[in-house]
Amino acid sequence: MSATLDLPCTECGRVLRVAEEHRGKKARCPACEAIVAIPSGGDFQLAAATQNDQPQWYMLTPEGQIFGPVDPDHLDRWVSEGRVTADCSLREGETAGWRPADERYPILQPPPHQAGGSPFAPRGETGAVAAAAASRGTQSTEQANYMKPHRGGLILVLGLAGLLAVCPVAAIFAWTMGAADLRQMRQGRMDPEGLGITKGGMILGMVISIIDIVAFVVFMFLMLMLAR
């Protein structure tokens, strides 16, 4: 029985096992179909002997492809190059079972995800939750700083002007401006501190405006009746 030699593929790293009589020839890798030159010198025999003393590893990809056997140093190089991912499986030797790659290389494990509002949050997350709450409070304060100032005092003065000075224009302005400002307060775009006086001025302007409109209609009706 002729001796065999193990030669790693220069492209995919798979170890090719060739007969010793093929020294100095070329072989085709069955995995990637790359052409690999088979050394003919004594250094190849020394490298093969060193390789046989080390444990051999195989890698199974999620697509079902198997690469190897390779020595641990070669496998470490695959990990550093990103060729081994957490969804790959590794096996030491030909008879061992497949194990997840992230068991041998924990660096492949994805970072843990912590939910902010979980009542079962691990220790240390309370600070993150407090920071998030503080951030939301800061955002609310900044949002309040960007609100429009209310015009409740002006609207109330216009409503009183419509009542005391019998000025329909002022009453109409109090009505329309008050309705617009109340809508912006409900939408969070205007300072709600003037809600009370804004609503009072709007109601006063609305009542005076309706009275003025009814009085104008009655006056026009009487004028038409007298003109006949």
User: For every one of its 228 residues, what pLDDT tens digit does the chain have, with 9 covering 90 and above?
Assistant: 456 677 777 777 777 777 777 777 888 877 777 888 877 764 444 444 444 557 788 889 888 888 878 888 888 888 888 888 888 999 988 888 898 988 888 888 877 655 444 444 444 444 555 555 555 555 555 454 567 888 888 988 888 887 887 788 888 888 898 888 888 888 888 888 888 899 888 998 889 888 888 888 998 888 888 887
Could you please report the per-residue DSSP string of 67-80? Answer: EEEE-HHHHHHHHH
| Amino acid code (one letter) for 195 | L
Please state the pTM of the whole predicted model.
0.36
pLDDT of residue 4: 67
C-alpha 61/C-alpha 83 separation (Å) is 10
Tokens of 14: 């798979």
Q: Residue 160 in contact with residue 204, Cβ under 8 Å?
A: yes
C-alpha 67/C-alpha 31 separation (Å) is 8
Angle, CA 160 vertex, CA 206 and CA 147 arms, to 5°: 75
Q: How many CB atoms lie within 10 A of CB 11?
A: 13
